[in-house]
Amino acid sequence: MIACGAQSEVGKLRVVLVHRPGEELLTISRDAPELHLFRERPRLDAAVREFDELVDALKSLGVEVVNVSRWRDANQVFIRDAAVVTKAGAILANFGARVRQGEEEVVAGELKRLGVPVVSRVKSPGHFEFGDLLFLRPDAVLLGLSRRSDGCGARQVAALLRRFGAVRRCYVTEVLPPAVHLDMAVNLAAEQLAALYPGAVDGAAEEALRAEGYEVVQVPEGDFRNLALNWLAVEPGRVLMVDGYGKNRCTRRLLESFGVDVVSVDISELAKGQGGVRCMTLPVLREER
């Protein structure tokens, strides 16, 4: 077994899984992309170029990037939802979106190849996708109840995290449309700094953040809709953000006013699948502070 565990949102990111998109994007119907959960079919060449630039950015920041070459469907690029990696090993999702079911097995195969054990999974009738989980502390999590993750699934995840991750505190919040997952509405940028869009979660989210000692700032609706909150922290106070110098400049400036270093990336084609930088990365190993 290799060293694993990513029970933090801001600890130094060491190893991450990704899936480089390919021909599976061509399976998306131009006339009905919503059947694959996309707003529009991305242009393959542009999507691949964006992905490669994201990987280059991660590597330049000292992150080891492992590509999962196999795919189950067009959403495989949004690999975050398939699993969470605890100190003991991985817990697999049970996708609420039927079209995505089976992605977790592809990810499980790569994790096992790396030497990361799969310790458990969410089981029917419960459903949970891990874009609906945020580690507030190594022993505290915020779980989202969304269109894709239900109460039965969240209860299973809470129990599994207590067993395999020594998690003591589990907070639950409702994720409101149009947010698909919790990580579109709430995120952490530094050890004491959180951000959210209040129109996409109920009040329990901010209560949980403040209970764990975070200063909470709010982003504007336009930035929320442009996936500003779906950033990836690579270490405390440094994040990779979608279009930080364009559509999401308000959120970039907000974070910078708190001393956060924002690295901007363009994923405008891939964002047609309703996911951002965090969605496209599955941390395997982070340092804990």
Residue 289's pLDDT is 64
Question: How many domains does the chain contain in total?
Answer: 1
Is residue 184 situated within a structural domain? yes
Whole-Å CA distances, 187 to 4, 40, 109? 22, 26, 28
Residue 210's pLDDT is 99
Q: Can you say how many angstroms the Cα of residue 84 is from the centroid of all Cα atoms in its chain?
A: 10
- The CATH number for 273's domain is 3.75.10.10
Q: Can you say how many angstroms the Cα of residue 15 is from the centroid of all Cα atoms in its chain?
A: 15
Residue 186's pLDDT is 99
Is residue 169 situated within a structural domain? yes
Is residue 125 situated within a structural domain? yes
Is residue 4 situated within a structural domain? no
**pLDDT tens profile 13-37:** 999 999 999 999 999 999 999 999 9
Q: pTM to 2 decimals?
A: 0.97
Is residue 1 situated within a structural domain? no
Residue 201 neighbours by CB under 8 Å, 6+ apart = 144, 173, 174, 175, 176, 179, 182, 185, 186
Domain boundaries, position 164: 13-286
Residues of the chain with confidence (pLDDT) below 70: 1, 289
Is residue 3 situated within a structural domain? no
